[in-house]
Structure 1
């Protein structure tokens, strides 16, 4: 009996070690397919001298001592997937995203029947989505985004009833029959199909959806009414399609859970919903580049957490929404290219826009003086306490409640005009500070207080009716990269203090009434004629017009410039020399020609005037 027990134990032990040997062989086969391991994660650690369960990225179960998880994400590995990974019969978690794996996915992976978490995102896989994914009946998460996958989405994929997370974005997928099958995924919480070539009507979302992302495709039709049933919806990204119709009024009712809405670059018409309820959780609203009309709904004032509001490039017709001053979390405000009108400074605003760092009111019909009241309260740009802003992204990471969260950059797709170019952000850093009030009817002088916005990156006041001089205080904008004051009625000289702008890349002062010499040195040596065109009384490089001696240039002794003191001394010596020569010439004339009566009369007249005084 004792011998039988011992034999039985030996068989079990042998089976255990043979199984773990299978796992080890599978990983060694994967290692042989790795052609580039820059940090030697696998080269030095995946060794037969140690247990496979202690290898980097490997997790074993406590019960069977078999490999249950493999995480090689973000290791900069290059290679292909070994078919022997299909032998990891206990594997439930496989994450290799953010590497450079390529090729196709081997069919042997269909043997991984325990698989729940599968993330191949941010690699270079090609080919089509394998139909055998439908055999992974326990699959809860599938990530294939940011690859080179083409073809259609196989219907078999939608047999995975437990699927909660499906991300196929940023590939070359095509097809138009999505709406019929996505509704079958009743457990789905995250749907990300953006940046593909999908056509047809916008898909109906399952009832538990939290993220609904189908942006940047060729989808048509209206937003389905079923979206009003998504009481758990957190983020909705439908931008950059060919959608039409009106924006459902229920969007306002969903705002108790909804934080991020991307509807820009479509063909929506009508008005913005006016029923944003109290307790609104909205943080980012993009409805730019549509055909929306009417006014900006005052109920948006209930969205106290609003960080970003972009309604640019529509047909909105309204006065400045002064009630926005109550949104003390607002960082980005874009109203450009609409029909907003009237004065801003005259409004009795309860200003708390202390976090505002991007404001774009360009291409409207605003009038009156520049809104000094805004500038006084822009504490995020003023740097009053001498603390630099830490660079971080405008990002929300509250999509899924379990451990596998999904991040949303809620400034994604934001476009601004800076440095003379249209710039589109995939994500927005907090250090980007911009004021664009161009192409309006603002008048009066440029407020000196603008010079206190020390962290400002871009300032554009062009195409207005501004007068007076350029404030020398603008020389304090030490972080400024672009300054556009063109097409106004500014006069006076270009302040030499602007030479302090060490990061200035773009300067446009054209089409004004500026005069005098252009400052020389530092960044000013990089600007071309285009920066000064239309100022007929400017002179000096890079213009061909020299600054002559008749130029009303005050004598300035700047000891900081090495050549100035020498030039000053040289000018004095030249004046002394010229005076000496002229005096000797006059003396010679007096003694050789007698009394020059015209000179005597002048001297007598001067003597008489001084005598009377």
Structure 2
């Protein structure tokens, strides 16, 4: 009996000591969090709005500081969110002591230097957002230790070096943004281990080599690889297992070969940009017939070929932007463009080999804002009269299109900012009121045509005009309209 009492007493004493020790430890942890944040504050060299200077004080609880949120259960710092505060300085390694931190968001400030390696001890971290700063240096392999990360944004900084292979350990990651840095090397194959990934943004770096197959990454919605040095060919089955894909950009790289037919499987695709590569062959039928949600199609500056009349058999009435410029497309431009694409706003077809008569039904493109048909091989003929009824048109480029005759009256096109009719055989006289209702006009060129007569006095109404080129014509009269600075060629 004595032994039992002794054991109970010792057990009670042990539990009491444990409670006191735990309480002391918790108090110490809160103090540790406060010390870590004060150390962070001490390295802030500019706080223009005095956010931290006036608020982060030991006279109040850490959990009441601006940008700080505490976990009610543990009484520890749970999140540090200081975005858009114009803070400048370096990040203290003491932040690595915030062992319960789940969210660290320093977006859009001016923090510089290297990211402290101590931050990779924050094993509970789910969101790390430090985009739009001035961080530099490499991304260490220790990044892979943050196994709970779901959102990682490092974009618009000065990070350099390779993406570590350990990034494949981030199995919970949903969004990865490293765009607009100075990263180089290949995209690691281990990225395929991140099967939960929905957004992959690596644009505007110096990545090179081929793209890993993305076929097991079925959750991907957004893929942006533009403005890098990536190359190779896209295999035919590249798009086979990307059913959620909404945005895909490979623009400004060095890809060659044809566009995979499997692109037609991406029926959720809204935005596709493969411009400025070395792609060849015809535009796949899948783009034309199966991508019914497609809003933006950029295929310009490649070596694509094919008959334009076949290309414009779209099943997507949602298309608003089409760029097919600087390719080898040929054939006659069909007259059903506006009917098939009622929401078309931007249409670039310049520098191809389009022939036949220029369509006369442009007035049916009621939403069109930019139209560029320049440098093609249209038959000689007058400028389409229907153009003057495109009341939303802002930019019109018809250079070197074998146009002849007079210009239609543009007076109801009050949204026009840029007009370029250079290198044609247009002629006649410009009526005195030609410029009466073009208040937005900024750039106007009739270079190398056959106009005669005097320059209309109404050009003085174009108060936004900054560039005017009427050279290489037969114009006469005096320059009495220049009441302000205009670049006159």
TM range (shorter): 0.7 to 0.9
* CA spacing shift, 1:436–1:186, aligned 2, 3 Å: closer
Equivalent positions of 1:73-88 (< 5 A) are 73-88=83-98
1:523 correspondence with 2:452: no
The aligned counterpart of 1:577 is: none
The aligned counterpart of 1:533 is: 471
* CA spacing shift, 1:542–1:254, aligned 2, 3 Å: farther
The Cα offsets for residues 343-377 of structure 1, whole Å up to 9 and x where unpaired, read as 335x556814221111112122333443232x233
C-alpha deviation, 1:62, in angstroms: 1.7
For 2:402, which of 465, 470, 474 is the aligned residue?
465
The aligned counterpart of 2:76 is: 66
* CA spacing shift, 1:516–1:294, aligned 2, 3 Å: same
Equivalent positions of 1:254-293 (< 5 A) are 254=241, 256-274=243-261, 277=264, 280-293=267-280
The Cα offsets for residues 167-187 of structure 1, whole Å up to 9 and x where unpaired, read as 3332223345x5354445565
Q: How many residues align?
A: 465
* CA spacing shift, 1:202–1:273, aligned 2, 3 Å: closer
Equivalent positions of 1:108-257 (< 5 A) are 108-176=118-186, 178-179=187-188, 181-183=190-192, 185=194, 188-199=197-208, 201-204=209-212, 226-241=213-228, 246-251=233-238, 253-254=240-241, 256-257=243-244
The aligned counterpart of 2:52 is: 42
* CA spacing shift, 1:127–1:305, aligned 2, 3 Å: same
Secondary structure of the residue aligned to 1:449 is helix
Distance (Å, rounded) in 1 between the aligned partners of 2:205 and 2:342: 39
Secondary structure of the residue aligned to 2:375 is coil
The aligned counterpart of 1:363 is: 351
Distance (Å, rounded) in 1 between the aligned partners of 2:166 and 2:280: 44
Task: Confirm or deny: 8 A CA contact 2:204 2:226 kept in the other structure.
Answer: no
Distance (Å, rounded) in 1 between the aligned partners of 2:162 and 2:331: 52
Say which structure is richer in helix.
1
Secondary structure of the residue aligned to 1:285 is strand
* CA spacing shift, 1:140–1:9, aligned 2, 3 Å: same
The aligned counterpart of 2:370 is: 434
Distance (Å, rounded) in 1 between the aligned partners of 2:336 and 2:145: 64
C-alpha deviation, 1:58, in angstroms: 1.4
1:372 correspondence with 2:382: no
* CA spacing shift, 1:91–1:339, aligned 2, 3 Å: closer
The aligned counterpart of 2:440 is: 503
* CA spacing shift, 1:187–1:262, aligned 2, 3 Å: closer
The aligned counterpart of 2:428 is: 492
* CA spacing shift, 1:111–1:490, aligned 2, 3 Å: closer
C-alpha deviation, 1:466, in angstroms: 1.6
Equivalent positions of 1:411-426 (< 5 A) are none
The Cα offsets for residues 363-421 of structure 1, whole Å up to 9 and x where unpaired, read as 22333443232x2332324xxxxxxxxxxxxxxxxxxxxxxxxxxxxxxxxxxxxxxxx
Structure 2 portions without partners, runs of 5+: 1-8, 482-489
Task: Confirm or deny: 8 A CA contact 1:499 1:519 kept in the other structure.
Answer: no
C-alpha deviation, 1:435, in angstroms: 0.6
* CA spacing shift, 1:442–1:162, aligned 2, 3 Å: same
The Cα offsets for residues 204-223 of structure 1, whole Å up to 9 and x where unpaired, read as 3xxxxxxxxxxxxxxxxxxx
> What RMSD over aligned residues (CA atoms) do the two structures have, in Å?
3.4
Distance (Å, rounded) in 1 between the aligned partners of 2:216 and 2:169: 23
The Cα offsets for residues 552-580 of structure 1, whole Å up to 9 and x where unpaired, read as xxxxxxxxxxxxxxxxxxxxxxxxxxxxx
Say which structure is richer in strand.
2
C-alpha deviation, 1:119, in angstroms: 2.1
The aligned counterpart of 1:404 is: none
Secondary structure of the residue aligned to 1:24 is helix
* CA spacing shift, 1:192–1:358, aligned 2, 3 Å: closer
For 2:415, which of 471, 479, 482 is the aligned residue?
479
The aligned counterpart of 1:403 is: none
The aligned counterpart of 2:484 is: none
* CA spacing shift, 1:442–1:434, aligned 2, 3 Å: farther
* CA spacing shift, 1:438–1:542, aligned 2, 3 Å: farther
The aligned counterpart of 1:546 is: none
Normalising by the residue count of structure 2, what TM-score does the alignment of the two structures yield?
0.82
Distance (Å, rounded) in 2 between the aligned partners of 1:351 and 1:49: 69
Normalising by the residue count of structure 1, what TM-score does the alignment of the two structures yield?
0.67
Secondary structure of the residue aligned to 1:109 is helix
1:57 correspondence with 2:67: yes
Secondary structure of the residue aligned to 2:119 is helix
Structure 1 portions without partners, runs of 5+: 205-225, 382-432, 544-613
The Cα offsets for residues 248-281 of structure 1, whole Å up to 9 and x where unpaired, read as 3324644643222323344544443445558822
